[in-house]
């Protein structure tokens, strides 16, 4: 009898351990090039997510851009460029993240085009039910990769214009607008604290959040444009610059795939440290991976007129 009960205890512990392990959501953060300090951003997000005990986070860092040295003669320059191109091609050929291994992929990447095999693998992952989060300048990436733009819905810079899709926003009277006027996509004013207005409190990501909360100092991206199909705007922020309520949280569908997109998260202020940003990222990961959210709104969540930040790692 004693032996049997001991066996049962061991078995139960094993099931528990297995259960906990099986529940862990696997996340891949892709970085390596960005006009923002990705070397600080990625570890911060990774740490915040892993602290919850719900996620295991891996990182895949793309090759850096190899540039030829400056101050060369014309002849030397051609040769150096050729050598740099060869180095670039070699490095990129060796980089091929296994997206399919992960429940959720987060992009903290804004840089050179990915090689075709990487793009193809990512499209396949998403078509077949992949989960993706686009953070801040990741929406500057790949202006002419149509499938990527369908995934993120809206993007900025990189020559984006009306050809890439409409501006999508709420106007002054809170009407959802798809504006096809010609013009550049992507802009922002000086960093400042701004109010996030929740547009749908029934979504698992936003449920229980104050309907308005103050986001820590960040760039308020405005005038993003793109296909914006299969997209729901969960939250906006009023831009004094564009005089529009600009999308700040979006959920999208792409074939069997699902996406969460936040233009928040410029790195050199306190935007990433904002409890609102962290909670949103955490909940988005859980929702994408499991279709529901159990993560509670923390007691130190920002309020309508008070920001709330955690220290850097
Ligand atoms: Zn920025």
Cα(40) to centroid(ligand 1), Å? 13
The verdict on residue 198 lying in a domain is yes
66 alpha carbon – ligand 1 mean position (Å): 23
The band of 20, judged by pLDDT with boundaries at 50, 70 and 90, is very low
Instruction: Name the H helices within 97-214.
Output: 116-127, 146-152
Q: Does 2 map to a domain?
A: no
* pLDDT score for 19: 46
**pTM of the complete model:** 0.91
Residue 303 Cα distances to 72, 82, 172, 207, 269, angstroms: 56, 55, 23, 15, 19
- Asked if the structure places residue 1 within a domain, the reply is no
Residue 5 lies in a domain: no
pLDDT of 244-254, one tens digit each? 999 999 999 99
Asked if residue 311 belongs to a domain, the reply is no
Q: Per residue in 202-226, pLDDT tens?
A: 999 999 999 999 999 999 999 999 9
Containing structural domain, residue 92: 24-63+81-290
Mean pLDDT of 66-93: 91
- Residue pair 261/156 in contact by the 8 Å Cβ criterion: no
Indicate whether 300 belongs to any domain.
Answer: no
307 within a domain of the structure (yes/no): no
Model confidence over 22-35: pLDDT tens digits?
Answer: 469 999 999 999 99
Distance in Å, CA 208 to ligand 1 centroid: 28
The CATH number covering residue 130 comes to: 3.40.50.880
Model confidence band, residue 279 (pLDDT cutoffs 50, 70, 90): very high
Residue 86 has pLDDT above 50, yes or no: yes
Quickly list DSSP for 73-129. Answer: -HHHHHHHHHHHHHHHHHHHHT----GGG-SEEEE---SSPPPHHHHHHHHHHHHTT
**Domain-located, residue 136:** yes
Contacts of 169 (CB under 8 A, 6+ apart): 176, 177, 179, 236, 242, 244, 245, 246, 247
**Number of domains making up the chain:** 1
CA of 10 to the centre of ligand 1 (A): 51
Higher pLDDT: 12 or 294? It is 294
End-to-end CA distance of the chain: 50
């Amino acid at each position: 009898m004693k032996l049997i009960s001991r066996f049962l205890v061991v078995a139960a512990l094993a099931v528990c351990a297995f259960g906990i392990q099986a529940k862990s959501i696997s996340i891949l953060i892709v970085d390596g090039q960005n006009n923002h300090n990705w070397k600080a951003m990625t570890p911060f997000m990774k740490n915040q997510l892993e602290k919850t005990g719900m996620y295991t986070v891996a990182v895949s860092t793309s090759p850096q851009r190899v540039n030829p040295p400056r101050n060369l003669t014309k002849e030397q320059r051609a040769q150096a460029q050729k050598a740099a191109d060869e180095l670039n091609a070699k490095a990129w050929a060796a980089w091929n993240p296994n997206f399919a291994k992960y429940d959720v992929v987060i992009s903290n990447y804004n840089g050179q085009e990915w090689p075709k095999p990487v793009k193809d693998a990512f499209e396949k992952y998403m078509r077949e039910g992949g989960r993706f989060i686009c953070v801040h300048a990741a929406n500057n990436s790949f202006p002419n990769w149509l499938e990527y733009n369908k995934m993120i819905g809206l993007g900025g810079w990189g020559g984006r214009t009306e050809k890439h899709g409409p501006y999508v926003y709420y106007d002054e009277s809170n009407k959802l607008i798809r504006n096809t006027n010609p013009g550049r996509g992507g802009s922002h004013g000086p960093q400042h604290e701004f109010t996030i207005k929740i547009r749908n409190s029934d979504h698992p990501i936003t449920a229980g959040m104050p309907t308005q909360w103050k986001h820590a100092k960040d760039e308020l991206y405005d005038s993003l444009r793109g296909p914006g199909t299969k997209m729901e705007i969960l939250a906006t922020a009023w831009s004094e610059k564009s005089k529009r309520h600009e999308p700040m949280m979006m959920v999208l569908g792409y074939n069997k795939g699902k996406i969460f997109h936040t233009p928040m998260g410029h790195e050199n202020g306190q935007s990433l440290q904002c409890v609102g940003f962290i909670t949103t990222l955490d909940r988005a990961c859980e929702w994408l991976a499991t279709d529901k959210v159990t993560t509670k709104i923390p007691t130190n969540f920002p309020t309508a007129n008070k920001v709330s930040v955690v220290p850097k790692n």
